[in-house]
Amino acid sequence: MCVPIDNRDWPAIGDMADRIIILALGLIIANFKPLILNHSTISVTLIIIGLVTHLGTLSRIFYAKKIIDKNQK
């Protein structure tokens, strides 16, 4: 099956710019507050980056499924 896909309409949740901003904010916050709820600020930041990345992956998967379903009809 061939499905025409345009690159400009894909969801942009968790792309590289978002991850860099989250990492930069986490590093800045870690300078002032090294622990958040008895966990390292850096580890909390990395967990947030992982969650955002997975959210972006799921949104892209559902978007691709929507495109495929639309073209099958």
In whole angstroms, how far apart are CA 52 and each of 22, 35, 36? 10, 21, 19
Q: What is the pLDDT of residues 44-68, one digit of tens each?
A: 999 999 999 999 999 989 988 888 8
* Full-model pTM: 0.81
| 3-class DSSP state of 36 | strand
Angle (CA) 66-68-73 rounded to 5° is 100
Q: What is the pLDDT of residues 3-31, one digit of tens each?
A: 777 776 777 888 899 999 999 999 999 99
Return the beta strands (E) in 1-73 as ranges.
35-36, 39-40
Domain ranges of the chain: 11-72
